[in-house]
Amino acid sequence: MDPARDLLAAAVDIQPDTVALRRRLHRRPEVGLTLPETQATVLDAIAGLPLRVTTGTAVSSVTGVLDGGRPGPTVLLRGDMDALPMPEDTGLDFASEIPGVMHACGHDTHVAMLVGAARLLSARQAELPGKVVFMWQPGEEGFGGAKYMLEEGVLEAAGTPVDSAYALHITTNFGSGVVTTRRGPAMASSDVIRIVVTGRGGHASHPSAALDPVPVAAAIVLAIQTMVTREISVFDPAVVTIAKITAGTTDNVIPETAELLGTMRTLSEQNRRAVKEKLRRLAPAIAAAHGASAEVFIDDAGYPVTVNADAAADLVHATTVGLLGPDRAVLERDPIMGAEDWSYVLQRVPGAMSFLGACPPGLDPDAAPPNHSNRVVFDEDAMAVGVATHVAVALAALEGTPPPA
């Protein structure tokens, strides 16, 4: 049996345990940085493995270090653990038992796949040339959990510097068992925008005696879209979406203020800074033209651009071609405008974020309920591919397998 088939067969052998763990986590989702039940489940799942295990102080993280039997580099693998504050309407017999909380982004599968990878790599401990750090991370969904784990020393846990780092994210946007990656920017930065327009309240029947902030807010929205299309290069794109406008209390009152809430996405830190500056200039100027005022608030805690190192992306692609074949290993042309706090790790260590397709059989990936949908369902058969991919990438990184020229 060749090594690739051996890895896939080993992942299939433990698939019942991987699925059982995933379903256990799916039933009991937790949100944010404090995930005590999830943490306990992970600790239970890895008990007995030859890992040096530590847990977080500020957050409910779990770090495991596998020391190989031979000297070599150190590679880090990550699986995020948190769920989303939303209802589940999948009808699965293992659906969430926690009202208003759901593993709608597949982090339950990430945890289970990383546990599976830890099992398979532990079985090879004596022959491993180096060390593997397993990073089970809370708080990816907007809480910046990766930053907390970095501050608490996840990159120093092995006692040797981490040479490269890899994460795998499940998605229904690709066929089941397809692994994709990309050189360079793989995911966008993400910043929250809040704009408060202040006018002058009054009676809705006499708008000329007031200064209505609602049409001013509407003008700002349209001006932002024009700014994006006319001032931002299509070769370094940005997305600015105003997703919520709040104003007023009833039908016959012109409010004093209107508030806009939205998101800003870019694929370079240079453009990220530039778009922020443009928004801070544009909104007050539009408001002033109407005799009103506007304040722009942009949350500095937004996630940076997730940038894959070229060599790391090449290693993932070459490894998955060997593992899965060229039809199921794809080097993507386009980035994704979603955001990830894995970006903080890649600012410190070269590595890559890759994606595992898990569209259910019989559904079109373009039409299947996507991540963050209350109806998203992942094909669990893809998880064996995810486990094998984690292991194959770790082995390639440890053995110093050069990426293709």
Report the catalytic residues: 303, 380
372 has binding-site annotation? yes
The verdict on whether residue 152 carries a ligand-binding annotation is: no
Annotated ligand binding at 107? The verdict is: yes
* Residue 141 known to bind ligand: yes
359 labeled binding residue = no
Reported residue count of the chain is 405
Q: Which residue has the tokens 């104003």?
A: 247
62 token code pair: 């779990």
Which residues belong to the annotated binding site?
Answer: 105, 107, 141, 169, 372
Residues placed in the known binding site for Mn(2+): 105, 107, 141, 169, 372
